[in-house]
C-alpha cells in the first residue's frame, strides 16, 4: 500500500464480506422454502427473504466495487484520494441506509414499508431487484455522486491510466443507468422495457467495465506483465462487451409486449456476448503464463484466474444456453434462468470482488505482499469449496429447469406449476445441501483472515520464470 | 516485435464500437416506441388498473411470481392468470381466501388483507396484462 488514503478501502471490504454472509444465510432460507413451503411462514415469507437475498448481494457487490475503487484509484493515479473523509462518511451513510432498508423488509410488511416511506410520492418499489424504498434509492444516488466526485477528482488530479478511466466509465455508467429505476409508468411494457436499462445495462454492460479494470489491475500487480499489453487487452475486451451487450439487451424483449424484431436482434447480439468473456479467460491465463515474476499472493492469482473461468461459464456459456429466442420461448422465467443467474453473479461479480479483496487486504493489514502460507492455503480451500458448490448448484438448478420446461410447457399435457414443483423437489434438496457446503466454504474463507497472522509472509519461490 | 495491432487501435474500436452500437440501440428503441402502442393493450389502462399496479408493487408480488416471465420462480406465472382462471372474480376469490397461517408443509400465498377496492384493482391489473401481445408466450396455459 503506497498511499495512506487507500486505507479507507478496508472498511468497505469488511462490510462487503459481512453482508455476503447475510446474503448466503437468506439464500439458504429461501432454498429451504423451496423444499418445505411453510418454513418460517408467515414470519418471513418467501418474497421477503428473497428480497433480502438479492438486495444484500447487490449492496455488498457495490461495497466491494467502491472499496476496490478506493484502493486502486490512488495507486493508479499516484496520488492520495482528494477527500478521504468523504469516503469514510459515505461508508457509514451507505451502511446505515442499507441496514435500515433490510430491517425494514424484515420487520414490517412490505406494504407498510411502502406507506411508511411515502412510496405514493414517487412509486418505485415492488419491482424485482429495485424493491428499495424510494428514499433509499435517493440515498444511493447521493452516495454514488459523492463517490464519483471523490474518485473522479482524484483521477483528474493524478496520472490517468486506462485502468482508472475504464473503471471510472463503468462506475459513472452504473450511476447513470440507475436513474432509470425512478421511471415506473403504469404501462407494464414500458415499465419492463426501461427496468432492463438498469438491470441488463448494469450486469451485462457497465459492470463488466468495472470487472475488466479490476482484473487488469490485479494482473498487472501480480504478473509484472507490461502495462501496455494489459491495457490493450482491456480495451479489446470491453469493446466486445459493449458491442455485443448493448443491443444484446434485446434478449429481454422477446415476450414482454415489445415488437418481434427484437427476437432477431436479441438472439444475434446476445449469442456473441460470450466472446468478451472467453477473451477474458484467454487474457488472464496468457498474462499469468507470461508473468515476469511469481507473486507470493497465490490466493489472489487463483481468484483472478477463477473469475475469468467462472464468468465465462456462468455468464457466457449458461447465458448462451437459453438466449436464442426459440429456446428462450420455453425456458423464459424458469429454473434455467435461476441457474444462469447464480453462476453468472458468482463467477463474474462475487469472484472479482473476492479477488481484489484477496489482493488488497493483506496490504491493508500491513503485510508487504501477501498473507502467510497457512492463511493462503485456507483461503484457497474456501475458493474451491465455494466455487465447486456454485457449479453443482447451477447443475442442479439446470436439471430442475429442464424438467420444469418439459413437464409444464413442452409435453403434450402440460401440468400446473405447483404439481411440477413437487415433481422436481429432489433437485431443490440437492441444491440446498450444496448451499450448506457453500456456507462452509464461506466460513473457511473468512477463517483464513484470522489464522496465521503471526506467521511470516509467504514468499514467491522460483523468481523470474519467463523472459 | 512489430505492433500490428496497437493500443490506440483497440481504444478506437472501444469508443467507436460503443458509440455506434449505443446509437443503434437508441434507434431500435425509437422504432419500438412506434410499434408498441399496437401491442401493449394501453386502451385498458385506467385508474383502477393504475391502482392495481400499485397494489401489485406494494405487496411485492414479483418476489414470488413471474409476470410475463420476469420475477421470482417460487409461484405461478401471472401474465396469463386471467385466461387461466377465466375471470377477475376467480382471481379475487383466490387472493382473498389465503389462510393467514399458511398451509402446513406447503407453499402458500400470504393473506394480504386487501380491501374490496384493492382486490378489484389488482384483478383488473392482471386482466390488463393478459391483454398485452406477448408474441404467443407462454407456450402453455400453465404458464
pLDDT band at B4, cuts 50/70/90?
Answer: confident
User: Which three three-digit cell numbers place residue A365?
Assistant: 493489514
CB pair distance less than 8 Å for A110 and B137: no
Q: How many CB atoms lie within 10 A of CB A270?
A: 26
B56 → chain A, closest CA residue? A126
User: Which three three-digit cell numbers place residue A101?
Assistant: 432498508
Predicted pLDDT of residue A441: 98
CB pair distance less than 8 Å for A189 and B40: yes
Shared domain check, B142 and B116: yes
Query: Angle of helix A373-405 relative to helix A335-344, nearest 10 degrees?
Result: 160
pTM of the model: 0.97
User: Which B positions 60-79 lie with beta carbon below 8 A of chain A?
Assistant: 60-64, 66-77
- What are the pLDDT digits (tens) for A347-360? 999 999 999 999 99
pLDDT band at A461, cuts 50/70/90?
Answer: confident
Shared domain check, B31 and B55: no
CB pair distance less than 8 Å for B132 and A256: yes
Predicted pLDDT of residue B2: 58
CB pair distance less than 8 Å for B62 and A128: yes
User: Which three three-digit cell numbers place residue A149?
Assistant: 466526485
pLDDT band at A462, cuts 50/70/90?
Answer: low
**Chain A CB contacts of B13 below 8 Å:** 235-236, 239
Rounded to whole angstroms, what are the CA distances from A429 to A122, A287, A342? Answer: 41, 40, 16
**Chain B CB contacts of A261 below 8 Å:** 28, 31
Which of B24, B25, B41, B128 to mutate against chain A (most A CBs within 10 Å)? B25
CB pair distance less than 8 Å for A48 and B39: no
Number of residues that this document lists for chain B: 143
Shared domain check, B103 and B54: yes
Shared domain check, B79 and B21: no
B111 → chain A, closest CA residue? A42
Shared domain check, B125 and B101: yes
Long-range contacts of A447-451 (CB under 8 A, 24+ apart): A447/A378, A447/A382, A448/A299, A448/A371, A448/A375, A448/A376, A448/A378, A448/A379, A448/A381, A448/A382, A449/A361, A449/A375, A451/A374, A451/A375, A451/A378
How far is the C-alpha of A401 from the C-alpha of A111, rounded, in Å? 31
One-character DSSP codes across A245-283: HTGGGGGGSSSSS--THHHHHHHHHHHTTHHHHHHHHHH
Shared domain check, B26 and B68: no
Q: In Å, how far is B38's CA from the nearest CA of chain A? A: 9
- At a CB cut-off of 8 Å and minimum separation 6, what does A2 contact? A74, A75
Shared domain check, B80 and B21: no
Mean pLDDT score of chain A, rounded to an integer?
Answer: 97
Q: Can you tell me the mean pLDDT for A319-339?
A: 98
- What are the pLDDT digits (tens) for B61-87? 999 999 999 999 999 999 999 999 999
**Chain B CB contacts of A334 below 8 Å:** 73
pLDDT at A465 over 90: no
pLDDT band at A467, cuts 50/70/90?
Answer: very low
Predicted pLDDT of residue B107: 97
* Residue that the C-alpha cell 401493449 belongs to: B40
Q: In Å, how far is A317's CA from the nearest CA of chain B? A: 21
* Residue that the C-alpha cell 438466449 belongs to: A323
CB pair distance less than 8 Å for A187 and B45: yes
Shared domain check, B72 and B127: yes
In chain B, what's the furthest Cα-to-Cα distance?
A: 77
**Chain A CB contacts of B106 below 8 Å:** 37-38
**Chain B CB contacts of A162 below 8 Å:** 7, 11
Q: Can you tell me the mean pLDDT for A427-453?
A: 97
- B46 Cβ under 8 Å from any chain A Cβ: no
- What are the pLDDT digits (tens) for A146-176? 999 999 999 999 999 999 999 999 999 999 9
Q: Please say whether the dihedral angle defined by the alpha carbons of residues A95, B62, A196 and A202, taken in this order, is positive or negative.
A: positive
**Chain A CB contacts of B141 below 8 Å:** 414
- What are the pLDDT digits (tens) for B12-58? 999 999 999 999 999 999 999 999 999 999 999 999 999 999 999 99
CB pair distance less than 8 Å for A37 and B108: yes
pLDDT at A383 over 60: yes
Q: In Å, how far is B46's CA from the nearest CA of chain A? A: 9
Q: In Å, how far is B18's CA from the nearest CA of chain A? A: 6
**Chain A CB contacts of B62 below 8 Å:** 47, 126-128
Predicted pLDDT of residue A466: 45
Cis peptide before B138 (omega within 30 of 0): yes
- Do residues A406 and A427 lie in contact, with contact meaning Cβ atoms separated by under 8 Å? no
Predicted pLDDT of residue B53: 98
Shared domain check, B127 and B88: yes
Domain total in chain B: 2
- B48 Cβ under 8 Å from any chain A Cβ: no
Q: In Å, how far is B110's CA from the nearest CA of chain A? A: 7
Smallest Cβ distance to A228: which of B7, B45, B140?
B7
% residues pLDDT > 70 (chain B): 98
- B90 Cβ under 8 Å from any chain A Cβ: no
- What are the pLDDT digits (tens) for A193-209? 999 999 999 999 999 99
Domain ranges of chain A: 1-160
Print the domain residue range for B11: 7-38
**Chain A CB contacts of B61 below 8 Å:** 47, 126
CB pair distance less than 8 Å for B63 and A333: no
- What are the pLDDT digits (tens) for A13-55? 999 999 999 999 999 999 999 999 999 999 999 999 999 999 9
A39 → chain B, closest CA residue? B105
Predicted pLDDT of residue A460: 84
**Chain B CB contacts of A250 below 8 Å:** 28
Can you name the residues that pair with B70 across neighbouring β-strands?
B67
Shared domain check, B57 and B28: no
Shared domain check, B50 and B14: no
Instruction: With respect to residue B2, please indicate whether it lies within any of the assigned structural domains.
Output: no
User: Which three three-digit cell numbers place residue A116?
Assistant: 411508511
Smallest Cβ distance to B70: which of A37, A236, A333?
A333
DSSP state of B67: E
Instruction: With respect to residue B1, please indicate whether it lies within any of the assigned structural domains.
Output: no
How far is the C-alpha of A279 from the C-alpha of B14, rounded, in Å? 15
Predicted pLDDT of residue A83: 97
Q: In Å, how far is A128's CA from the nearest CA of chain B? A: 6
Shared domain check, B100 and B34: no
Amino acid at each position: 500500500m503506497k498511499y495512506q488514503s487507500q486505507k479507507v478501502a478496508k472498511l468497505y471490504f469488511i462490510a462487503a464480506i459481512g453482508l455476503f454472509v447475510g446474503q448466503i444465510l437468506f439464500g439458504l432460507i429461501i432454498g429451504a422454502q423451496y423444499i418445505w413451503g411453510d418454513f418460517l411462514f408467515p414470519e418471513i415469507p418467501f418474497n421477503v427473504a428473497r428480497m433480502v437475498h438479492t438486495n444484500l448481494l447487490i449492496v455488498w457487490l457495490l461495497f466491494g466495487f467502491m472499496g476496490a475503487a478506493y484502493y486502486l484509484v490512488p495507486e493508479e493515479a499516484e496520488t492520495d484520494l482528494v477527500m478521504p473523509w468523504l469516503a469514510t462518511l459515505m461508508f457509514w451513510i451507505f451502511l446505515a441506509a442499507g441496514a435500515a432498508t433490510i430491517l425494514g423488509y424484515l420487520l414490517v410488511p412490505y406494504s407498510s414499508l411502502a406507506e411508511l416511506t411515502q412510496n405514493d410520492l414517487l412509486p418505485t418499489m415492488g419491482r424485482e431487484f429495485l424493491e428499495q424504498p424510494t428514499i433509499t434509492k435517493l440515498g444511493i444516488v447521493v452516495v454514488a455522486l459523492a463517490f464519483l466526485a471523490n474518485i473522479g477528482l482524484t483521477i483528474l488530479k493524478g496520472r490517468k491510466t486506462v485502468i482508472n478511466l475504464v473503471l471510472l466509465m463503468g462506475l459513472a455508467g452504473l450511476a447513470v443507468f440507475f436513474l432509470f429505476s425512478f421511471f415506473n409508468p403504469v404501462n407494464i411494457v414500458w415499465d419492463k422495457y426501461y427496468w432492463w436499462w438498469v438491470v441488463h445495462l448494469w450486469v451485462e454492460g457497465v459492470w463488466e467495465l468495472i470487472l475488466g479494470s479490476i482484473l487488469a489491475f490485479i494482473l498487472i500487480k501480480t504478473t509484472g506483465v507490461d502495462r501496455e499489453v494489459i491495457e490493450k487487452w482491456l480495451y479489446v475486451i470491453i469493446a466486445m462487451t459493449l458491442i455485443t451487450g448493448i443491443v444484446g439487451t434485446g434478449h429481454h424483449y422477446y415476450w414482454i409486449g415489445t415488437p418481434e424484431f427484437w427476437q432477431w436482434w436479441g438472439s444475434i447480439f446476445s449469442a456473441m456476448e460470450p466472446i468478451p468473456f472467453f477473451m477474458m479467460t484467454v487474457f488472464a491465463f496468457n498474462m499469468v503464463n507470461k508473468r515476469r515474476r511469481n507473486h507470493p499472493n497465490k490466493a489472489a492469482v487463483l481468484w483472478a484466474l477463477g473469475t475469468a473461468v467462472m464468468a465465462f461459464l456462468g455468464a457466457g456459456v449458461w447465458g448462451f444456453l437459453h438466449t436464442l429466442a426459440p429456446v428462450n420461448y420455453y425456458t423464459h422465467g424458469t429454473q434455467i434462468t435461476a441457474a444462469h443467474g447464480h453462476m453468472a453473479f458468482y463467477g463474474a461479480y462475487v469472484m472479482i470482488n473476492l479477488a481484489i479483496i484477496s489482493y488488497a487486504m493483506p496490504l491493508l493489514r500491513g503485510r508487504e505482499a501477501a498473507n502467510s502460507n497457512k492463511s493462503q492455503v485456507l483461503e484457497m480451500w474456501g475458493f474451491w469449496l465455494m466455487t465447486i458448490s456454485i457449479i453443482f448448484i447451477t447443475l442442479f438448478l439446470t436439471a430442475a429447469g429442464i424438467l420444469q420446461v418439459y413437464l409444464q410447457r413442452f409435453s403434450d399435457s402440460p401440468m400446473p406449476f405447483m404439481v411440477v414443483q413437487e415433481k422436481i423437489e429432489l433437485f431443490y434438496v440437492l441444491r440446498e445441501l450444496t448451499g450448506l457446503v457453500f456456507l462452509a466454504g464461506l466460513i473457511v474463507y473468512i477463517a483464513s483472515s484470522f489464522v496465521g497472522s503471526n506467521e511470516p509472509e509467504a514468499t514467491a519461490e522460483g523468481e523470474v520464470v519467463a523472459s | 516485435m512489430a505492433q500490428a495491432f496497437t493500443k490506440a487501435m483497440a481504444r478506437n474500436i472501444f469508443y467507436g464500437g460503443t458509440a455506434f452500437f449505443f446509437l443503434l440501440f437508441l434507434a431500435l428503441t425509437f422504432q419500438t416506441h412506434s410499434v408498441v402502442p399496437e401491442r401493449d393493450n394501453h386502451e385498458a389502462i385506467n385508474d383502477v388498473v393504475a391502482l392495481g399496479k400499485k397494489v401489485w408493487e406494494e405487496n411485492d408480488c414479483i418476489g414470488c411470481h413471474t409476470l410475463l416471465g420476469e420475477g421470482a420462480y417460487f409461484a405461478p406465472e401471472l401474465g396469463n392468470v386471467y385466461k387461466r382462471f377465466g375471470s377477475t372474480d376467480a382471481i379475487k376469490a383466490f387472493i382473498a381466501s389465503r389462510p393467514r397461517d399458511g398451509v402446513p408443509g406447503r407453499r402458500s400465498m400470504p393473506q394480504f388483507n386487501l380491501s374490496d377496492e384493492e382486490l378489484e384493482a389488482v384483478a383488473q391489473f392482471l386482466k390488463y396484462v393478459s391483454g398485452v401481445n406477448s408474441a404467443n408466450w407462454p407456450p402453455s396455459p400453465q404458464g
